[in-house]
Amino acid sequence: MFATLGENFFNAAVAARYLPDIMRGVVVTLQLGLLIVVTGILLGLALALVRAFQIRALSLLIVAFADVLRALPPLVVLILFYFALPFLGLEMSGFVAAWLALALALAAFAEEIFWAGILSVHKGQWEAARSTGLGYAQTLAYVVLPQALRLTIPPLTNRTIAITKMTAIASVVTVEEILANASTAQAYSANTTPLTMAAAAYLVIFLPLVVLSRWIEKRYAWKV
């Protein structure tokens, strides 16, 4: 039984043959994940700051954007981008479609997290800052935002990791990330060892991030 398990899931010859493919997938996954994190967080922060100015029309649009993107599964958004937009004359590669779908999903959650952080700052902080002569934008930038960001770090870190792990759905649109390359290797080799290698690769990438998020939660938690 153990010999069969080893032959099918831990075959050294198969692992050696397809290791370069898995490593190429790792590079693509890292590139895609980094783009998603940077774009999603910056866009979410920008939307929350715009919403803080309480311009009704813009606020309604931002709320609608956040609600829709949080309600839709990222896979559905990815399929719409990749398969539906070409009918409107907007074609994009699978990599770009995956980047935009997941970055927008992260931005929607990030906007709500940043907005909750801004709202959590006591009204007295605003009033005290304004009484010293600071304008609204200056108060937001120098007084409110630094406090809000500290509150948002733990939930934002967890949400970022959760969405970044979903880079695996890019395999649906032929992006050669870890899972796509592992699935192709598994089909060619008629052996599941490449999938074991893919699982190991995801652990190497994301387990340190999970440990880091735990440390961040403790480091930036408010002391009572």
Q: What is the pLDDT of residue 149?
A: 86
Q: Is residue 8 in some structural domain?
A: no
Q: Is residue 5 in some structural domain?
A: no
Answer yes or no: is pLDDT of 99 > 70: yes
In this predicted model, what pLDDT tens digit does every residue of 42-84 receive, in sequence order?
999 999 999 999 999 999 999 999 999 999 999 999 999 999 9
In this predicted model, what pLDDT tens digit does every residue of 150-200 receive, in sequence order?
888 888 988 898 898 899 999 899 899 999 999 999 999 989 999 999 999
Q: Is residue 4 in some structural domain?
A: no
Q: How far is CA 130 from the centre of its chain?
A: 36
Q: Which residue range forms the structural domain that includes residue 75?
A: 36-219
Instruction: Provide the CATH number for the domain around residue 145.
Output: 1.10.3720.10
Q: In this structure, are residues 114 and 45 in contact, taking their beta carbons and an 8 Å threshold?
A: yes
* Domains held by the chain: number: 1
First-to-last C-alpha distance (Å) of the chain: 54
Q: In this structure, are residues 222 and 117 in contact, taking their beta carbons and an 8 Å threshold?
A: no
Q: Specify the pTM.
A: 0.90
Q: Is residue 130 in some structural domain?
A: yes
Q: Is residue 26 in some structural domain?
A: no
Q: Is residue 30 in some structural domain?
A: no
Q: Where is average pLDDT lowest: 34-38, 131-135, 202-206?
A: 131-135
Q: Is residue 14 in some structural domain?
A: no
